[in-house]
Amino acid sequence: MSDATAKKEERHKFQAIKGTRDLMPPETELWNRVEQTAHEIFATFGYGEIRLPVFEETDLFARSIGLNTDVVSKEMYTFVDRPLEDLEKLKEQIITRPIGLVNITNLGIFDGEVEHFLSEVKPLFDREEISRSPENAAALRSVHLAHQEMRRLLLDRALSRPELQDPLVAQIVEIKNEMRKVLLGNVLTMRPEATASVCRAYIEHNMQQLPQPVKLYYMGPMFRRERPQKGRYRQFYQIGAEILGGTDAPGIDAEVIEMLMTFFDKVGLQGATLYINSIGHNAENCRRGYVAKLKAALEKVKDKLGPDSQRRIDTNPLRVLDSKLESEQAIIATLPHIADHLCDECKTHYAEVKRQLQVRGVLYQENWRLVRGLDYYMRTTFEITAPGLGSQNAVCGGGRYDGLVELLGGTPTKGIGFAIGEDRLILSLQESGKGQVQQGRDIYVAWMGEKAHATAIRAAKDLRKVGFSVELPPLEQKFGKALSQADKLGAKFALILGDNEVSEGLWTLKTLSTGEQSKFSEPDLLEFLRQQKNVSS
Ligand code: AMP
């Protein structure tokens, strides 16, 4: 390495990874306010908070979100957990060990290694420390069976019986091939969303035995390897809620949406628009019938569509309706609407959701193009957009997913939920001027002298106890310097404590906005400040 390169490396400044960011004060105050409001509002609707792991088995997301989606096919942060080094080495040795029929010694070593490998792997597999996926289980079983067969042939003295030599070689090859497929670890993924985790937890903790429905909410970071832009990050935050179990009565759907809009209202989000739709259910006389008609209609206009939509005609025709491509909009407008193809039950359900939204005073717009591409989604879907976000203007998406718990191995369970994009919500609040947060300290304690220091420490303690934010400088400062520091920190008051104040028992309080200064006894001062706080909060 040249000196210059070495210097350059020394200077390397660490930066947050692309698509991730630091949230810092004072902005974090706003995040806290938003999250606190969610805790409060959701609690009034009877929801309890669930805190979920940020990584899960990859397969949980692959199955629930769907292999055909962008999220699963290209955006997940996936890694192999804890590759076991010694076992990895052994596996490598087994795969690469040269074995000729003349080399009996090597065959003996090979046999011992395979046996050792299998005995080490079994308990790890049982303890779920290595993947228990069907593929991994199958590969291990094949290694085991081929190994047994190899031993049987050896006991039959295959080495000296020409007719058994080919079968023996075949078993060795089989062991090596299947061994290659064994994964010594778990494949895990940083969660790209949390609905699947909530359903996994519902099943894992037997929540179907609790009074139904179970109402849960969560908040926290999600991870998707998307192209970063305004309102789109690789680590972003969601606040979401799910109702699992019980009935699919329209009152549930309407109440979830009512709660959501109550929350948005309480945090001060302005200009939010709620879009709703019903996508029916996955039956011949309902969505499946509609999808067949949609597909037929799309085939007719195929050559006018872009490559993405053309591909989706086969993989997921509903997703064509999501297209934002300008050139496709006029064509999409001519496609059949799902509302005209819903079965009677789904029609009634949708009508009742809309009626109940009206009763609850929730304004909505219908958007027939609001769809979800997976089979287990059904009936109600909704989305909320907010101003000030450019092209990424959806702050929340949600819908009913009655088949998901079953898909993940649970009993048939009704489900509906939503996820709010917290980053976008915060952006929209800031853009509309609703993102102001209280900045600065309440009180700066300016002290001079040893005696005053002890009094200042006591005063700071008492003031903090009643909830004031207090800055107590660690070193003595001249009063002039202290006051300018108080100004810089945006303090409302400066409490001035010098020798005079301490000996007189009268403390000086300066209101920094007006420059007014008054003297108070200690109890009077506390009372005065308490009143000021009540006025401002
Ligand atoms: P989804 O889980 O895709 O239905 O998204 C729900 C909400 O999360 C969206 O409406 C967005 O507000 C937000 N969201 C999704 N992906 C991102 C991202 N990469 N960055 C920021 N917010 C996101």
Q: Does the CB atom of residue 236 touch ligand 1 within 6 A?
A: yes
At 395, the pLDDT band (50, 70, 90 cuts) reads: very high
Residues 6+ apart with CB under 8 A from 413: 199, 202, 208, 244, 245, 402, 404, 405, 406
Q: What is the mean pLDDT of the chain?
A: 92
Q: How far is the CA of 384 from the centre of ligand 1 (A)?
A: 11
Provide the CB-side half-sphere exposure for 10 (13 A, CA). Answer: 7
Residues 6+ apart with CB under 8 A from 263: 37, 38, 41, 42, 420
Q: Does the CB atom of residue 71 touch ligand 1 within 6 A?
A: no
Is 60 exceeded by the pLDDT of residue 42? yes
Residue to mutate (ligand 1; options 232, 234, 381, 404; most atoms within 8 A of CB): 232
Q: How far is the CA of 264 from the centre of ligand 1 (A)?
A: 16
At 296, the pLDDT band (50, 70, 90 cuts) reads: very high
Q: Are 120 and 130 spatial neighbours (Cβ–Cβ below 8 Å)?
A: no
Residues 6+ apart with CB under 8 A from 298: 305, 309, 313, 317, 320, 335
Tell me the per-residue pLDDT of 500-537, one tens digit each, with 9 for 90 and over.
889 999 999 999 999 999 999 999 998 898 888 766 55
Q: Does the CB atom of residue 349 touch ligand 1 within 6 A?
A: no
At 5, the pLDDT band (50, 70, 90 cuts) reads: low
308-334: b (≥16 Cβ within 10 Å) or e: ebeebbeebbbbbbbbeeeebeebbee
Residue nearest atom 21 in ligand 1 by C-alpha distance: 232
Q: How far is the CA of 426 from the centre of ligand 1 (A)?
A: 13
Tell me the per-residue pLDDT of 154-193, one tens digit each, with 9 for 90 and over.
999 888 888 888 899 899 999 999 999 999 988 999 999 9
Q: Report the SS3 class of residue 316.
A: coil
Q: Are 192 and 71 spatial neighbours (Cβ–Cβ below 8 Å)?
A: yes
- What does the pLDDT read at residue 516? 93
Task: Give the integer Cα–Cα distance in Å for 352 and 327.
Answer: 36
Q: How far is the CA of 332 from the centre of ligand 1 (A)?
A: 24
Shortest CA distance to 406 belongs to which of 143, 63, 22?
63
For residue 240, give the ligand 1 atom closest to its CA. Answer: 6
How would you list the strands of the sheet with 48-49, edge to edge? 48-49, 214-223, 235-244, 415-421, 394-400, 378-385, 273-278, 365-366
Query: CA-CA distances (angstroms) from residue 297 to 209, 323, 332?
Result: 46, 16, 10
Q: Does the CB atom of residue 250 touch ligand 1 within 6 A?
A: no
User: What average pLDDT score do residues 76-90 get?
Assistant: 89
- What does the pLDDT read at residue 22? 97
pTM: 0.86
Query: How many CB atoms neighbour CB 276 within 10 A?
Result: 24
Task: Give the integer Cα–Cα distance in Å for 299 and 535.
Answer: 67
Q: Does the CB atom of residue 193 touch ligand 1 within 6 A?
A: yes
Residues 6+ apart with CB under 8 A from 243: 213, 214, 215, 216, 252, 256, 414, 415, 416, 417
Residue to mutate (ligand 1; options 224, 236, 269; most atoms within 8 A of CB): 236
For residue 420, give the ligand 1 atom closest to its CA. Answer: 7
Is 70 exceeded by the pLDDT of residue 385? yes
Q: What percent of the chain has pLDDT over 90?
A: 75
Element (H, E) at 422: helix 422-431
User: What average pLDDT score do residues 408-431 get?
Assistant: 96
